Chains A and B, each alone.
Chain A
Amino acid sequence: VSEPPGRSRPLIGRRSVLRLLGVAALGLVASCRPGKQRTAPTSPGPATTRPAPSPQPAATPATPTTASTAAASVQPTVSPLSADQLVAQRVALAEQALLGAYDAVTVAHPELAGRLAPFRADHVAHLRGLVPGATPSTTAPSNTAPSSSAPSSSAPSSSAPSSSAASSSAPASSAPASPPLSSPPASTVILRQLADLERSAAAARLGDVVTTSGSLARLVASIGGCEAAHAALLSVAT
């Protein structure tokens, strides 16, 4: 799986991936609050943020067993959730953000879609394990960018929140200068960045675990194990 030499595709740099994560997180935060108690202030987010499809509200708590107070301050505007539900929602947000990163990468590099699909599927499973009935709110790119169409490297569709970030790079169709021999192919850079994101996520799960117990702690720890394994596999893949 190597790209044609000398072709410089627009990279999604770390900064833009992080920006996408922010957009994805805002979308989820805005959409996952129960409607009647919605006290959310107007979002200061980017004007291009489209409201994500609402996941179904969690009808049942993930694990109504414990009542640790450690996470009580996470979302002070949402009162009726148990401490465990708050932890589950916090981790679900992180999973949604990772999904957004995979979606963004797949838009910019459709050739990686097949290879990344198993990783993405794991995060969908995590989301559903945390919030029963949740449907991953696909970020705009995965809905609007047909990966089957011409593999053009022009900017993703204008509705994608990543457009400003991704399209600022030079279009690949212009005569590419040969990159220095030392620069790795774009896919390698992307996979490394995803590995970094997974590694950070796994580290964050260690902090999440100690705010809960019982079956939810077991679940969150397992999700962290999966993310650590993803980081390792993605690192090997490069």
Chain B
Amino acid sequence: VSEGGVVAALLAAAAAENAAVYGYSVAGARLATGQDKNAARTAYDAHRAQVQNVTQWLADLGATPAPAAPVYRLPSPVVDNPSARALLAAIEESTAAAYADVVAVASAQLQRDAALELQAAAIREAQWRTTSVPFPGLVGRLGA
């Protein structure tokens, strides 16, 4: 397992976390209930914290992530509550996928930490979907 592989996976995780922060800032306002908006705020804070954590992991390896972009292209327009939930579920799935890639190449504590972040993303993904997927972070990648 090369350190370069770990750095590349962490750079992708940082990008996914920055995109997630942006996505929550867009979708949060379209959510219907106060409960969902609170959940979105909590998730937004969690992703912002993860940007910092991943940045630190990269710094430990002598690397620096790209800064967040001002705007990200959304996979689908967010116009109402259902489309907002769909976007947030997709964001969490791509976040989980990024951490799955870290898990594949990292070891020891970093590998465990990445697996825990995958779980956190999977929990949020299921809450936006209101159902679970069997392989969060691998959706569309298993058997494909």
Contact = CB atoms under 8 A, between A and B. Distances in A.
Interface in A206-238: 206, 209-210, 213-215, 217-219, 221-226, 228-233, 236
B100 to A, nearest CB: 5
Nearest to A202: B119
A114 B96 CA distance: 28
A185 interface: no
Nearest to A205: B115
A223 B115 contact: no
Interface SS of chain B: helix, strand, loop or mixed?
helix
A111 interface: no
B119 A217 contact: no
Contacts of A218: 100-101, 103-104, 137-138
A219 B127 contact: no
Count chain A CB atoms within 10 A of each CB in B105, B112, B115, B133 and give the residue with the most: B115
Contact of B119 (A119, A129, A213, A224): A224
B134 A121 contact: yes
Contacts of B118: 221-222, 224-225
Nearest to B121: A225
A211 to B, nearest CB: 10
Most B-side CB within 10 Å, residue of A129, A209, A214, A225: A225
> Is the interface on chain A under 10, 10 to 19, 20 to 34, or 35 or more residues?
20 to 34
B135 A129 contact: yes
Contacts of B125: 229
A179 B106 CA distance: 52
A231 B112 CA distance: 19
A9 interface: no
Interface of A: 118-119, 121-122, 125-126, 129, 202, 205-206, 209-210, 213-215, 217-219, 221-226, 228-233, 236
Interface of B: 1, 96, 99-101, 103-105, 107-108, 111-112, 114-116, 118-123, 125-127, 130-138, 142
5 contacts: A206-B112, A209-B111, A226-B134, A228-B120, A229-B119
